[in-house]
Structure 1
Amino acid sequence: MFGLKKPHVVNWTTTLFLSITFLSAAIGTPYYLYTYGWSTPLFLAFLFMFSACCMSITFGYHRLFSHTAFKASWPVRLLVLIFGAASFENSALLWSSEHRRHHKHTDHEDEDPYSISRGFFFAHMGWLFLRYTPERPLDNVADLRKDKLVMWQHRYVQLIAAVVTFVIPCTVGWFVSRWDGFLGCLFIVGFLRIVCVHHVTFFINSLCHVLGKQPYSSRTSARDSWIMAILTFGEGYHNYHHEFQHDYRNGIRKWQWDPTKWSIWLLNKVGLTWDLRRVPKEKILLAQIAQKERALEARLGKQEITLSGAAAQLLETARQHLAHAAEAWETHREARNNALKAAAKTAVAHESEGLLATLRREEEAAAKNLRLCIRAWRNAYRVACATI
């Protein structure tokens, strides 16, 4: 099935669950709307549960647990684990294990759990219908096994999901308006919301590897799309994410739609999240330059032409200067980071202040020189493109 080489069997539990939830939403939603009509409280309940569950996946399962892009207080972790369970996407432990494997083996036909190389449907949801035999070991989430809240959720994920999705909403709905409220919470807040949340996540694995551009790297199929960012709570800047997976941001520009990033940042301001990991701007620019170089090389190869002598020499000189500047900047940056780590362990921190100040100045000077070389490369690149 799907051309997989490794032994596998049909995962009947997941297959039946996805089928039942879809059919219940497809049949129950129009029946309810025809019988009882739409109401503002029901819409708000649906919107709350949909947003809470989606954000618990993007904020919690993805950026917090899978990539450790930041750290969060226990109340924040508890909330995302509860509503993450209500998403019916398995436990954070299992989800993170699969996702880390996806990043390690992106696009590999067998090792990537939801490889787009197997086709759109397989990446979207087909992979969920299968179970490998033997099952993949949870050998890449040792850090999460030490988190008591993560392990609590892992043990009781089905119970938490059922209570948060069906028991509480349907009970409240019954006391508010009897069958009207009960069925509304069952079909709209329950089944329809589950299906919608599922496909928001599924689209990240499928459409985000098909639709959009690749400004940072073409080494994987991941792509950036502002349309997908809107649909997936900021996860649509997928090309950036695959190149810099430990950054807490997916949309790095202030104007790029990424409510997950904004939520992490806001919680940081009130002390509920900390150690937010950000990729330096210089490193991002270098990735964009490398991608433009690859695109230029492909363009020249496709048209079977070469750059003129002067343009080629100008670009090659700019490349060499840029490579030396990037290496120097990385060296100074690493030296300062190592000194900061050493100072944090030192009882008398003031003894390191002079060294840290010197290293900071050297890093800033190296960064300034790197930016100048980037500017020179851009000019040379424009000249080269103009000659084609």
Structure 2
Amino acid sequence: MIFRIPTDRINWTTSSFLIGTFVLTLTAVPLYLWYFGIDWFYFAVFGVMLAVTGFSVTLGYHRLFSHMTFRAVLPVRLFTLIFGAGAFENSVLMWASEHRRHHKHVDHDEDPYDISKGFFHAHIGWLLFKLQPQPPFDNVNDLKKDPLIMWQHRHIHIIAVLVSLGLPTLLGALWDGWTGALGGFLIGGVAKVVVLQHGTFLINSACHTIGRQPYSTRCSARDSFLLALFTFGEGYHNYHHEFQHDYRNGVKPWEWDPTKWLIWILSKLRLASGLRRVPAETISSAQTRVRHLRSDGGFQDAQ
């Protein structure tokens, strides 16, 4: 059979955005740097915006709203909703719905980014093509009761554009006029979105393909220190799938998980509370079960 792209299933808006921003990052950003030179200011904007938006996704979208691993005061919730929108990963309502469905049906057909359908599908294909049938929107009734979340959901696109593209463009303009505005838009805006999004996508794809499984072999999720370095600590995915209601992904004190450290700091500042932790005995028991499986020859880590 001749390969044919199912054009009737293409999500044209999402596909155009994902491909367009990726192409701009690979072409327009280098051209800008070559023509106007390297200015530390734009990379500072890139770094700050990447951190603020990234933590808003990992701390807010993921661990606070999707898994309810802790509680946060209103300013923290509002901050993560506003800057999390800047990742262009949709509203927290839709993000959490898809993510909860992923955990419930991991590695099965109902999993939106099911790795068994291939690395490309899990990484980005599920966004480029419409899922059939469209999954129901029935697992976030708790979030629908939150007026802040519903406000963000109604205005997600305008918030995303203003925060993620408008803010760095404005900062660039204040720094160096129209050339600064262009630099802020391309580096602090577009390139930041691409880097952040593909970090998230790698959790859905690479963290279900490469790494270790020290806590569970019940699904494809794996721990990867390397991916944790680039995803604000989200790379300890095997632990997360086994104990999804723990506010920590890197459970060991030395494991790189800046999101858990930030949550802990917020708790000390009385901006977060109710941090949920899995008992050490439960974690140890899970590791023991996996070691027994390995010794019996029933399991092997992917290298």
Fold in common (TM above 0.5) = yes
After TM superposition, list the pairs within 5 Å mapping 1:112-151 onto structure 2: 112-151=111-150
Where does residue 296 of structure 1 map in the other structure? 295
After TM superposition, list the pairs within 5 Å mapping 1:33-112 onto structure 2: 33-108=33-108, 110-112=109-111
Q: Distance in 1 between matches of 2:66 and 2:126?
A: 19
Q: Distance in 2 between matches of 1:299 and 1:198?
A: 35
Where does residue 163 of structure 2 map in the other structure? 164
Q: Distance in 1 between matches of 2:170 and 2:197?
A: 24
Unaligned runs of 5+ in 2: 1-7
Where does residue 30 of structure 1 map in the other structure? 30
- Which is bigger in relative contact order (C-alpha 8 A, separation at least 6)? 2
Report the secondary structure of 1:132's partner residue.
Answer: coil
Amino acid at match of 2:69: A
- On the 8 A contact 2:173/2:179 being kept in 1, the answer is yes
Q: Distance in 2 between matches of 1:170 and 1:25?
A: 15
After TM superposition, list the pairs within 5 Å mapping 1:275-294 onto structure 2: 275-294=274-293
Q: Distance in 1 between matches of 2:169 and 2:235?
A: 33
Q: Distance in 2 between matches of 1:83 and 1:185?
A: 17
Q: Distance in 2 between matches of 1:148 and 1:210?
A: 38
The alignment of Structure 1 onto Structure 2 pairs a total of residues equal to 292
Amino acid at match of 1:217: S
Amino acid at match of 2:204: N
After TM superposition, list the pairs within 5 Å mapping 1:332-347 onto structure 2: none
Higher-Rg member (1/2): 1
Q: Distance in 2 between matches of 1:266 and 1:171?
A: 31
Moved more, 40-49 or 125-134: 125-134
Q: Distance in 2 between matches of 1:136 and 1:121?
A: 20
Q: Distance in 1 between matches of 2:223 and 2:281?
A: 20
Tell me: CA distance 1:99–1:299, structure 2 relative to 1, closer, same or farther (3 Å). closer
Deviations 1:193-248 (A, max 9, x none): 11001111001001111111101111101111111111111111111000000000
After TM superposition, list the pairs within 5 Å mapping 1:1-388 onto structure 2: 9-108=9-108, 110-298=109-297
Deviation at 1:121, TM superposition (A): 0.9
Deviations 1:30-54 (A, max 9, x none): 1110111111211110000111111
Report the secondary structure of 2:143's partner residue.
Answer: helix
Amino acid at match of 1:137: P
Report the secondary structure of 2:217's partner residue.
Answer: coil
Q: Distance in 2 between matches of 1:98 and 1:299?
A: 31
- On the 8 A contact 2:222/2:236 being kept in 1, the answer is yes
Deviations 1:352-379 (A, max 9, x none): xxxxxxxxxxxxxxxxxxxxxxxxxxxx
Q: Matched residues, percent identical?
A: 53
Unaligned runs of 5+ in 1: 1-7, 301-388
- On the 8 A contact 2:166/2:185 being kept in 1, the answer is no
Q: Distance in 2 between matches of 1:180 and 1:299?
A: 59
Where does residue 336 of structure 1 map in the other structure? none
Deviation at 1:102, TM superposition (A): 0.3
Q: Distance in 1 between matches of 2:156 and 2:198?
A: 20
Amino acid at match of 1:268: S
Q: Distance in 2 between matches of 1:80 and 1:160?
A: 12
Amino acid at match of 1:283: T
Deviation at 1:23, TM superposition (A): 1.4
What TM-score results when the alignment is normalised by the length of structure 2? 0.94
RMSD over equivalenced CA pairs, Å? 1.3
Where does residue 373 of structure 1 map in the other structure? none
Q: Is the helix fraction higher in 1 or 2?
A: 1
Tell me: CA distance 1:299–1:125, structure 2 relative to 1, closer, same or farther (3 Å). closer
Where does residue 352 of structure 1 map in the other structure? none
Report the secondary structure of 1:294's partner residue.
Answer: helix
What TM-score results when the alignment is normalised by the length of structure 1? 0.73
- On the 8 A contact 2:123/2:205 being kept in 1, the answer is yes
